[in-house]
Structure 1
């Protein structure tokens, strides 16, 4: 059946009759009631030529609720990313890309992207063809539409799970050796050294950070700031801010929040979800004022990450050497995690390839390797 023409007519009829789409993460009863309402409207409006509208109504209702046909993948075990390209649905699951064989008209995903964008208060249109939205469950929704996208609507959904992996689970997965895990656990428990975790996007930086934070004593004063809800801890008394990165006049910046957290909120441990901009200067200030602060950053190695941190933390009229020395004095440990593919294997796995202690001066960093096999 061609839903391309049917769906807009149905949506118009639902609005006219005052039938509302259930909220995000609707209950089973809300979904069932909505499907029943859709079947009733289909019959009343004679939108179907003949026959039982129940099956069609259920399918149409599913397409209008939540993420529609993408919704089941949010809950499927092992799925970390949902990818839409030219009407096809792919998933990143258990370390590899899999084709779901789902094919629907591109217009369906354009409408879906518009609905999610509106839910996030970010209208999607030709003048604003790129949106990033935090979904209610913490997953990150990114959509790009024409004319910016030359191949139709492109969607990526980074699936977020609220499960914090234990260090032992990470060791079992092969990401860390037991020696590495013991070293990092002692570093976290000692609360004396700031840790910088580097890697490419989706390498597992935040997963590792969350596992390390879970080692902290329950009553540690943990303060955190991030732009997406990714930090997950078992600390019942944390102070954590989620700072939207929209450029709006008067909106508090990530740098402002980080400054308040380390100067006014008395943290035993400060966590910055990821340094990408001006908050790098505040992070550098914090680690040079005796505050233990952990963060993640994109980079190809620990050294590359430190050099990137230098660039982000640059201050006007402050020599680069002075910035470098402050970073070398503040960052205690650098950890680099990568996606690696073993010879003969198709699946990618996460692996810590560097753990170093960081020191140095205005001239250069001194990185001393620790227990990497």
Structure 2
């Protein structure tokens, strides 16, 4: 399609306000006689996907098995589908097309990226999380990583069917949650820590109040009495920040039965440790670590960096008293997410 015609169609703002079926009909009418009849269907589909916001990525974003979409410049797009990385046939024809998509996605989330600030994070209107890195930081071309927001909650039964855990592990984890044992879910990036945490929250009794603390909203538990606190980054004037540590302290004043922290990676480690040590049994956190021992060590290190004033030995004792169990996640030889171990903290 002629690029001028393409841009002219996209300038029709009213198209974005139509539902998908009406939009495709309107596009077909607009393009009739302007493109060859044998190309009309493909051009309508391409423009409809562009107006929807995700352009060539639209089909991948609609795929219910895809959890992550990874764009590496104009190379073929990769996805994580059903727990396994997969190279697709989708690619951007030109860097300009990719840059236009980036600007459109970030603008819809009130964010921006440019050469002065070449790295950006944003949460899209559908709940997906997007991370963008531009040249020269990314010399091979713009990089886009999209973590899709799952439309449905995954329960323990879903994780059993997926092979992430077996029946013995499922029964043990549900019992640990029911017994109000404090858990740390540990694993590398992309091993399913948030997915498992979401599922375990479904085992929390309906009589308990759960306060969720996250940097970005990823948890959507089925437990009926839960409230969420979401961190806020500083504005352009470097003010107005509300970090996770402040939110954990706020959660303590909200009459929680359990406090759940989406990911421990900073000063919030010390605040979460205090919460689990002062009567909030059954609390849960995730931590980026490669083994249960690494998870405990990371908890201690982050607490030290938060300026607790306590010695390393004292913090080690506090961590082992506050945490009952570490659930370690990994990827097996086929690249699938699995529960590698469930270990008591001693």
Partner residue, 1:92:
80
Partner residue, 2:20:
28
Please show how residues 228-243 of structure 1 align to structure 2 within 5 Å.
Answer: 228-243=216-231
For structure 1, which runs of at least 5 residues remain unmatched after alignment?
342-346, 359-365, 367-373
Partner residue, 2:164:
175
1:242 positional shift: 2.0
What is the DSSP-based 3-state SS (H/G/I as helix, E as strand, rest coil) of the residue aligned with 1:354? strand
Bigger drift between 270-279 and 312-321 goes to 312-321
Q: For the residues of structure 2 that align with 1:325 and 1:176, how far apart are their CA atoms?
A: 30
TM-score calculated relative to the size of structure 2:
0.88
CA RMSD of the aligned region, Å?
2.4
Q: For the residues of structure 2 that align with 1:233 and 1:84, how far apart are their CA atoms?
A: 30
Select 1:205's aligned residue among 182, 190, 193.
193
Question: Is this contact kept in 1: 2:213–2:261, CA < 8 A?
Answer: yes
Give the length in aligned residue pairs: 337
Partner residue, 1:274:
263
Is residue 288 of structure 1 aligned with residue 277 of structure 2?
yes
Question: Is this contact kept in 2: 1:162–1:232, CA < 8 A?
Answer: no
1:33 positional shift: 6.7
TM-score calculated relative to the size of structure 1:
0.82
Q: For the residues of structure 2 that align with 1:309 and 1:273, how far apart are their CA atoms?
A: 14
Select 1:307's aligned residue among 297, 319, 329.
297
Q: For the residues of structure 2 that align with 1:169 and 1:286, how far apart are their CA atoms?
A: 31
Please show how residues 257-268 of structure 1 align to structure 2 within 5 Å.
Answer: 257-262=247-252, 264-268=253-257
Q: For the residues of structure 2 that align with 1:162 and 1:268, how far apart are their CA atoms?
A: 27
Select 1:77's aligned residue among 56, 64, 82.
64
Question: Structure 1 residues 200 and 73 mapped into 2: Cα distance closer, same or farther (>3 Å)?
Answer: same
Question: Is this contact kept in 2: 1:22–1:30, CA < 8 A?
Answer: no
Please show how residues 109-188 of structure 1 align to structure 2 within 5 Å.
Answer: 109-188=98-177
Partner residue, 1:329:
321
Q: For the residues of structure 2 that align with 1:86 and 1:299, how far apart are their CA atoms?
A: 30
Q: For the residues of structure 2 that align with 1:243 and 1:34, how far apart are their CA atoms?
A: 41
Question: Is this contact kept in 1: 2:233–2:240, CA < 8 A?
Answer: no
Q: For the residues of structure 1 that align with 2:26 and 2:217, how far apart are their CA atoms?
A: 30
What is the DSSP-based 3-state SS (H/G/I as helix, E as strand, rest coil) of the residue aligned with 2:89? strand
Question: Is this contact kept in 1: 2:183–2:285, CA < 8 A?
Answer: yes
Is residue 101 of structure 1 aligned with residue 89 of structure 2?
yes
Deviations 1:166-225 (A, max 9, x none): 32332343322322222221111122x210000011101111111111011223211111
Question: Structure 1 residues 305 and 6 mapped into 2: Cα distance closer, same or farther (>3 Å)?
Answer: farther
Question: Structure 1 residues 201 and 37 mapped into 2: Cα distance closer, same or farther (>3 Å)?
Answer: farther
What is the DSSP-based 3-state SS (H/G/I as helix, E as strand, rest coil) of the residue aligned with 1:274? strand
1:90 positional shift: 2.0
Partner residue, 2:183:
195
Deviations 1:219-240 (A, max 9, x none): 3211111112211211233111
Q: Max radius of gyration: which structure?
A: 1
Select 2:232's aligned residue among 244, 251, 266.
244
Question: Structure 1 residues 229 and 37 mapped into 2: Cα distance closer, same or farther (>3 Å)?
Answer: farther
Partner residue, 2:210:
222
Question: Is this contact kept in 2: 1:89–1:100, CA < 8 A?
Answer: yes
